A = this chain, B = another copy of it.
């Protein structure tokens, strides 16, 4: 169904290092064409754009992942995206993306929102996680082993979600964006952005969420899942 959010697992599980297993890529793609997430052992950043799924790694490479791949995702958010609002905007920060979404979807102040930005960016700073060096290593630890890169005057696409604050523990409150260049050869999790002129903006509210939790997964079953809002903000903010 269009504009329903499908999410596999919860951010608190990633914080606890639950990343050895996950949802098969083909199953994930059956739930939508627009999304983000990570891979087994948190090896790199996932972006799903127009139904194609890419793995962006800390060595700077971007690899399209075949839907029949036996790879899995321990955490992902995806939707069958059908923009209900389209506009153009010049933006100088991630926070301005949040503010813009709140402005163009005034009836959905407390809903999830999906967003896509296309165009030329004066500057986009991304990080790509290298991944766990051992099973159950926490996302906080994984965050210490990542590559950052700033693209200057890069043309590409940003895919992401705005999540309500009350989703703390389940998802990443606030704006969460991944970037991929137009040639689909570089990208990552966005830390900062600034557009040159105006970029294209497409957005939709997602008032229904389908949350699927890991089953028959000992890591998930034994994780404390206490929550670490400051930790999530530190590594996903």
Q: Pick the contact of A109 from B12, B107, B210, B221 — CB < 8 Å?
A: B221
Which of the 9-residue segments A51-59, A125-133, A183-191, A212-220 touches chain B? Answer: A212-220
Report B-chain residues with C-beta under 8 Å of the C-beta of A164. Answer: 225
Interface residues of A in 197-237 (CB under 8 A from B): 207-216, 220-223, 225-227
Which of the 9-residue segments A80-88, A142-150, A151-159, A166-174 touches chain B? Answer: A166-174
Q: Is the CB of B208 within 8 A of A211?
A: yes
Q: Pick the contact of A212 from B108, B109, B207, B212 — CB < 8 Å?
A: B207
Q: Is the CB of A110 within 8 A of B213?
A: yes
**Closest CB in chain B relative to A147 CB, distance in Å:** 30
A94 contacts chain B at the CB level, 8 A cutoff: no
**Closest CB in chain B relative to A2 CB, distance in Å:** 14
A10 contacts chain B at the CB level, 8 A cutoff: yes
Q: Pick the contact of A211 from B10, B168, B209 — CB < 8 Å?
A: B209
**Closest CB in chain B relative to A127 CB, distance in Å:** 25
A122 contacts chain B at the CB level, 8 A cutoff: no
Contact count band on A: 20 to 34
A27 contacts chain B at the CB level, 8 A cutoff: no
Which chain B residue lies CB-closest to A168? B169
Which chain B residue lies CB-closest to A166? B169
Q: Pick the contact of A170 from B170, B207, B223, B225 — CB < 8 Å?
A: B170
Q: Is the CB of B166 within 8 A of A221?
A: no
Which chain B residue lies CB-closest to A18? B110
**Closest CB in chain B relative to A80 CB, distance in Å:** 15
A165 contacts chain B at the CB level, 8 A cutoff: yes
A136 contacts chain B at the CB level, 8 A cutoff: no
A140 contacts chain B at the CB level, 8 A cutoff: no
